[in-house]
Amino acid sequence: MAAPVLIIDFGSQVTQLIARRVREAGVYCEIVPFHKSDAAIAAHKPQAIILSGGPASVMEDGAPKAPQAVFDAHVPVLGICYGEMAMAQQLGGKVEGGHHREFGRSDIRIEKDSPLLAGLGAIGDREPVWMNHGDKITAIPPGFSVVATSEHSPYAIIADEARGLYGIQFHPEVAHTPRGATMLKNFVLNIAGIKPEWNMRAFREHEIAKIRAQVGKGKVICGLSGGVDSSVAAVLIHEAIGDQLTCIFVDTGLMRAGEADEVVALFKNHYNIPLIHAQAQELFLGRLAGVTDPEDKRKTIGATFIDVFDEEAHKLGNVEFLA
């Protein structure tokens, strides 16, 4: 699935929240690490790019940079925190190592109307946001203007609206910026002009079509644990290819009382998915007898699971895909 929005990740702990906010706005997006973003931009041809925050300082030797392809793509770009610093520095502005680290709640003052702040306050109004930065922009690049300021950040929001370039010093993706989701929504829907057409139904239909195209008439086996990941995968694959899928549930004897029976009943009786219930409780407990080190236990369980799964898979024969 081509991603209308690419999020270039500079290592922020909350990059996944950016993706969540964009998807909540009805727009599909993908996260790519900064060092792989050239290829991702070429492959996806995004309609907008977001540069995430990150723990580094742009002043450090070897600090991550946005690839030139970001600015050559001629699509709207939003830099968040570190992303704003990197964009400002790379486009001709000046950044200094922070003399005052700004962390926590702050208020920005709106200095200029901007489509990024549509539906928020008027000029002069204040908006609560969440700051977390050490570097400081001391001069903005040519073509940029100041949209909002804070007590310690004279460039809390900057914009070159002719080129669709925006920088935000705070984190709009976190709950501590109450109307940050509105800013991100404004960016992807109003500034980038992307239609809010993505939802889980569309994603499901796309993935089912993708599975059918890849598998064809082949057989698939799926290791089923009863957890969220394998359960969702099993149901989705079965919707796509029906009984070409066989699930293998390895019963280790280590689940809660009655839980294994619940898994078997759910997938065999409710979802009608072909299921092999490999009852290997005695094998697992025997191999774990006397093992006290947690890491050794983990390795023993993993190796035993593979042994049992492989044995059951070979009994099926002619299996082309492992889910």
Tens of pLDDT, residues 136-145:
899 999 999 9
| 3-class SS letters over the chain | CCCCEEEEECCCCCHHHHHHHHHHCCCCEEEEEHHHHHHHHHHHCCCEEEECCCCCCCCCCCCCCCCHHHHHCCCCEEEECHHHHHHHHHCCCEEECCCCCEEEEEEEEECCCCHHHCCCCCCCCEEEEEEEECCEEEECCCCCEEEEECCCCCCCEEEECCCCEEEECCCCCCCCCCCHHHHHHHHHHHHCCCCCCCCHHHHHHHHHHHHHHHHCCCCEEEEECCCHHHHHHHHHHHHHHHHHEEEEEEECCCCCCCHHHHHHHHHHHHCCCCEEEEECHHHHHHHHCCCCCHHHHHHHHHHHHHHHHHHHHHHHCCCCEEC
| Positions marked active-site | 81, 171, 173
User: What tens digit of pLDDT does each residue of 167-226 get?
Assistant: 999 999 999 999 999 999 999 999 999 999 999 898 899 999 999 999 999 999 999 998
Residue 70 has pLDDT above 90, yes or no: yes
- pLDDT interval class at 161 (50, 70, 90): very high
Average confidence (pLDDT) over 146-168:
94
- pLDDT interval class at 101 (50, 70, 90): low
- pLDDT interval class at 128 (50, 70, 90): very high
User: What tens digit of pLDDT does each residue of 24-69 get?
Assistant: 999 999 999 999 999 999 999 999 999 999 988 888 888 899 999 9
Q: What pLDDT, on a 0 to 100 scale, did the predictor assign at position 153?
A: 86
Residue 121 has pLDDT above 90, yes or no: no
Q: What pLDDT, on a 0 to 100 scale, did the predictor assign at position 58?
A: 87
User: What tens digit of pLDDT does each residue of 262-278 get?
Assistant: 999 999 999 999 999 99
Percent of the chain with pLDDT over 70: 98
Q: What pLDDT, on a 0 to 100 scale, did the predictor assign at position 62?
A: 86
Q: Domains of the chain, with CATH numbers? A: 5-191 (3.40.50.880), 200-322 (3.40.50.620)
